[in-house]
Amino acid sequence: MGKMRKTELVRRAVAWLVAERRAQGGWLPLGEAPDAGAPFEVHWRAFRALVNTREAAPADPAFLAVQDELLRGMIEEAGVTRVRDIAPTARDGRLSIWQGDITTLAADAVVNAANAEMTGCWRPLHACIDNAIHTYAGVQLRLECTRIMERQGHPEPTARAKVTGAYNLPARRVIHTVGPIAQGSPTELHRRELAGCYRACLDAATAEGLSSIAFCCISTGVFGFPRKEAAQIAVDTVRGWLDAHPEAGMRVVFNVFLDEDECIYRRMLG
Q: What is the mean pLDDT of the chain?
A: 97
Instruction: Answer whether 110's CB lies under 8 Å from 255's CB.
Output: yes
pLDDT confidence bin for 204, thresholds 50/70/90: very high
- Cα–Cα distance measured from residue 61 to residue 106, given in angstroms and rounded to the nearest whole number: 25
Handedness of CA 165, 197, 121, 43 (dihedral sign): negative
Helix axes 227-244, 259-269, angle to 10 degrees: 40
CB 46 within 8 A of CB 30: yes
Contact assessment for residue 129 and residue 147, using Cβ atoms and an 8 Å cutoff: no
What local confidence, expressed as pLDDT, does residue 242 receive? 98
CATH 3.40.220.10, the chain: domain bounds = 81-269
- Mean pLDDT, to the nearest integer, of 111-129? 97
pTM above 0.75, yes or no: yes
Can you give the length of the chain in residues? 270
Percent of residues, the chain, with pLDDT higher than 90: 99
Exposed/middle/buried for residue 239 (C-beta within 10 Å: 0-12, 13-18, 19+) = middle
Each residue's pLDDT tens digit, 40-60: 999 999 999 999 999 999 999
**Is pLDDT of 270 > 90?**
no
| Segment 11-46, tens digit of pLDDT | 999 999 999 999 999 999 999 999 999 999 999 999
Q: What is the model's pLDDT at position 228?
A: 97
Q: Which CATH number fits domain 81-269: 3.40.50.410, 3.40.30.10, 3.40.220.10, 3.40.190.10?
A: 3.40.220.10
The answer to whether the beta carbons of residues 28 and 48 sit under 8 Å apart is: no
The residue type of 211 is S
pLDDT (0 to 100) of residue 1: 87
Average pLDDT over residues 56-69: 98
Question: pLDDT tens digits, residue range 166-200?
Answer: 999 999 999 999 999 999 999 999 999 999 999 99
d(CA 37, CA 231): 46
Strands 95-99 and 251-256: parallel
Is the per-residue pLDDT at 226 higher than 90? Answer: yes
